[in-house]
């Protein structure tokens, strides 16, 4: 909502799907045998150049001056930390002035003692 064009109605779509075997390879061994889900958040906001897709997840990294869009630059870094702590992954796709899409992949369940 914060990163929407002035005068354009913000739209956010959320979808979820169970991944088929082979669509995602978990990094840690016990999670290779557990089903995963992908949650996708898509918006029609200001977007970003795809070359910055990793930078936006770094703490205190901003693509715009603070006076343009408020914020501290920790939101997406915190999201990545939470997703990683749950043995998942998060990624982003963007197109300047056309919106962004964030994909979160999480295991269906956590392996006891592995969080």
Q: Catalogue all structural domains in the chain, each as residue range(s) with its CATH number.
A: 12-106 (3.30.565.10)
Residue 7 zone, left/alpha/beta (φ > 0; ψ -120 to 50; rest): left
pLDDT, one tens digit for every residue, the chain (115 residues): 555 566 778 899 999 999 976 777 666 667 777 889 999 999 998 888 788 788 888 775 555 444 445 556 678 889 999 999 998 999 999 998 889 999 999 999 887 765 5
pLDDT of residue 70: 53
């Amino acid at each position: 909502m914060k990163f929407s064009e002035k005068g354009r109605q913000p739209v956010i779509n959320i979808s979820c799907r169970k991944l088929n075997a082979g669509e995602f390879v978990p990094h840690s061994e016990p999670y290779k045998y557990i089903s995963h889900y992908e949650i996708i958040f898509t918006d029609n906001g200001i977007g970003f150049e795809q070359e910055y897709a990793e930078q936006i997840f770094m703490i205190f990294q901003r693509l715009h001056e603070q006076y343009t869009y408020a914020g501290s630059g920790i939101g997406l870094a915190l999201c990545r930390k939470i997703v990683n702590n749950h043995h998942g992954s998060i990624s982003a796709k963007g197109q300047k002035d056309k919106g962004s899409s964030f994909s979160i992949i999480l295991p269906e369940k956590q392996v006891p003692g592995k969080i």
